[in-house]
């Protein structure tokens, strides 16, 4: 088998450096604000998403991207079990969200990479920014709150999810137009943003980290004109 081209190897290095920086920043945040355990976890959540765009830009193929995603998912599972990096996992509640997040990226890569990179990017980035910002803004701003399947939700957090999802999907549609790829029409991707927001409400055990990206990516692909 031929070795990966130089651009692909450079891309892998950039991805690795980016992830290392994200984890290092999460550790610093945990050290500086130890009482805010959700902040470091959401920093990792948000910071991981853009690696999809890096992988696309450097032309990283499925033969490299998918095994890396599986290794990261395995590392997340080990960290969940042994708490090797508490800044990523220790949030004081029982959640498999980090593992599900890695698994969702692997599923999307297996289904759509590299033929439909925007389907992968749409799913991953909606979850990264939408859920990440919801988890940061929801607890910080006073707004009506409710509990659903044991999870606390808020109007502020839900609004942040909806706005971030719409911005991400709108941005993906612009990228599609600029790169000559198919994308859902505006009404479809706006509906998809609302659906992703609804799915995020069902977040017991962190299952939304799997359902939101995968369903968003699949519907982006199916609804693309």
- pTM for the whole thing? 0.92
Q: Which residues, in sequence order, are bridge partners of residue 146?
A: 153
pLDDT of residue 62: 96
Q: Which of 122, 194, 118, 105 is nearest to 158 (CA)?
A: 194
Torsion of CA 22, 72, 63, 179, to 10 degrees: -40
Are the CB atoms for 183 and 177 separated by under 8 Å?
A: yes
Q: Which of 79, 62, 69 is nearest to 15 (CA)?
A: 69
Query: Distance between terminal CA atoms of the chain?
Result: 36
Quote the CA–CA distance of 17 and 113 in Å, as a whole number: 22
Q: Is 108 left (phi over 0), alpha (psi -120 to 50) or beta?
A: alpha
Q: What is the pLDDT of residues 37-67, one digit of tens each?
A: 888 888 988 999 999 999 999 999 999 999 9
Is the CA virtual torsion 72, 102, 127, 55 positive or negative?
positive
Classify 214 as helix, strand or coil.
helix
Q: What is the pLDDT of residues 117-128, one digit of tens each?
A: 999 999 999 999
Is residue 190 packed enough to be buried (19+ CB in 10 Å), middle (13-18) or exposed (0-12)? middle
In which residue are the tokens 């980090």 written? 98
pLDDT of residue 206: 86
Q: What is the pLDDT of residues 177-198, one digit of tens each?
A: 999 999 999 999 999 999 999 9
Quote the CA–CA distance of 39 and 90 in Å, as a whole number: 11
């Amino acid at each position: 088998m031929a070795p990966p081209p130089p651009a692909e190897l450079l891309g892998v290095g950039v991805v690795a450096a980016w992830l290392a920086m994200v984890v290092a920043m999460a550790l610093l945040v945990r050290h500086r604000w130890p009482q805010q355990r959700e902040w470091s976890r959401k920093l990792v959540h948000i910071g991981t998403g853009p690696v999809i765009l890096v992988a696309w830009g450097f032309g990283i193929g499925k033969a490299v991207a998918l095994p890396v995603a599986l290794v990261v998912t395995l590392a997340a599972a080990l960290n969940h079990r042994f708490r090797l990096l508490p800044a990523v996992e220790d949030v004081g509640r029982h959640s498999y969200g980090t593992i599900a997040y890695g698994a969702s990226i692997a599923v999307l890569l297996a289904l759509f990479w590299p033929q439909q990179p925007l389907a992968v990017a749409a799913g991953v980035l909606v979850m990264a920014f939408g859920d990440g910002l919801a988890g940061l803004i929801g607890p910080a701003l006073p707004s009506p709150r409710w509990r659903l399947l044991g999870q606390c939700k808020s109007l502020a957090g839900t609004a942040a999810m909806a706005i971030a999802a719409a911005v991400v999907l709108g941005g993906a549609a612009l990228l599609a137009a600029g790169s000559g790829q198919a994308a859902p029409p505006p009404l479809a991707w706006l509906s998809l943003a609302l659906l992703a927001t609804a799915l995020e409400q069902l977040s017991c055990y962190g299952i939304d980290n799997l359902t939101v990206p995968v369903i968003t990516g699949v519907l982006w692909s199916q609804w693309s004109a």
